[in-house]
Amino acid sequence: MSTFPDRRMRRLRRTPALRRMVAETHLGAEDLVAPLFVREGITEPQPIASLPGVMQHTRESVRKEVAELAALGVAGVMLFGVPSHKDELGSGAFDSHGIVQATLGDLRHEVGQQMVLITDLCVDEYTSHGHCGIVGADGHVDNDATLALYAKAAVAQADAGSHMVAPSGMMDGQVAAIRAALDGAGHAHIPILAYAVKYASALYGPFRDAVDVQIVGGGDRKGYQQDWRNAREALMELQLDLDEGADIVMVKPAITYLDIIAKVRALTNVPLAAYHVSGEYAMLKAAAANGWIDGPAVALEQLTAVKRAGADVILTYLAREMAEVLR
Ligand code: PBG
């Protein structure tokens, strides 16, 4: 036995080299996926006030951004579309000329082999009412009718060159419906990154500015996204998505749900993703802009925490700046 006091805890913290040798968690560009917004019908990229540093891209500027992210070693991008016209069904989500499908046509040749092109699969950006599906006569989102839209969107995205589809709408049975549609259309090799655990979070506010979404009548998504008072319910969502064939599962948001990430990690061996969402990014940027926190230091600490909790892949608006720091 060592003498009192036992100094084992501090001995290995003495120099940066010692700390690096015993560090348990490492963050790299290969862990990161950058969410990107591409807007139809604009000629100049548009800044998003609540997401400083993030843009609504043109088809041309997104091309450049993706090429630069690939060169920085970022693992992938998640594409979101902002259409110039919205309708009841969100048809831009499954139209072969929709903005994301058109963008994939540009990107697949440019960076097709170097990084993973992921497409968010939902219709809220494309619907006039802002909901993630078809609104029924009773005012609620119709689960089964919506599954048919998601199936069409999945095929349209895969046909256009998506490498991976990421259903985020939280309809029951969406993973199974999308798997069947992809398989039936000759896309059996396209994986599904399932937003398996997605809470009805107030942290999505800035994202809705980014995609110009307002939910009709000041509504919310609590009828399909999860109640943040619940943890066991997340494990049921996880199990269902695994049973339906999810290739990767995601927890969202990230920092507010580290307990859920750790629980999901313990229960599955499929790769686990976590989404550090728009509100988490905006809070960090606002405090940093005021000089109240050291922005890059907090960013590194937060994203490392998400990995430490068990995530393999992190979706984050910080991807580019982190990749620049980490290389
Ligand atoms: C739905 C979707 C949302 C986000 C990703 N996919 C918004 C929502 O559910 O309201 C939010 C991402 C973020 O806040 O960064 N298409």
What are the pLDDT digits (tens) for 212-225? 999 988 889 999 99
Three-class DSSP category at 194: strand
Active-site positions read 198, 252
Give Dmax (Cα) for the chain.
Answer: 75
> Is 152's pLDDT higher than 80?
yes
At 1, is the pLDDT very low, low, confident or very high (cuts 50, 70, 90)? low
* Averaged pLDDT for residues 42-58: 97
Q: Taking the chain, what is the end-to-end CA distance rounded to the nearest angstrom?
A: 42
- DSSP track, 269-299: -S-EEEEE-HHHHHHHHHHHHTTSS-HHHHH
* Averaged pLDDT for residues 219-247: 97
Residue located nearest, by CA, to atom 10 of ligand 1: 204
Instruction: For residue 295, report the distance from its CA to the centre of ligand 1, in Å.
Output: 23
Nearest-5° angle of CA 146, CA 180, CA 239? Answer: 80
At 56, is the pLDDT very low, low, confident or very high (cuts 50, 70, 90)? very high
Contact yes or no for 5/11 (Cβ under 8 A): no
Instruction: For residue 204, report the distance from its CA to the centre of ligand 1, in Å.
Output: 6
Instruction: For residue 326, report the distance from its CA to the centre of ligand 1, in Å.
Output: 27
> Is 2's pLDDT higher than 70?
no
Q: Dihedral sign, CA of 131, 132, 133, 137?
A: negative
- Under DSSP, the state recorded for 63 is H
pLDDT in tens, 79-116: 999 999 999 999 999 999 999 999 999 998 888 789 99
Alpha-carbon dihedral 123, 126, 128, 132, rounded to 10 degrees: 10
- Strand duo 32-39 + 76-82: pairing: parallel
The number of beta carbons lying within 10 Å of the beta carbon of residue 119 is 30
Which atom number of ligand 1 is nearest to the Cα of residue 169? Answer: 1
Ligand 1 pocket at CB < 6 A: 120, 122, 124, 168, 204, 207, 221, 277-278
Instruction: Walk me through the domains of the chain, giving residue ranges and CATH numbers.
Output: 26-326 (3.20.20.70)
pLDDT confidence of residue 315: 98
Residue located nearest, by CA, to atom 14 of ligand 1: 204
- Strand duo 46-47 + 55-57: pairing: antiparallel
Instruction: For residue 238, report the distance from its CA to the centre of ligand 1, in Å.
Output: 18
* Averaged pLDDT for residues 305-313: 98
pLDDT above 70 covers what percent of the chain? 99
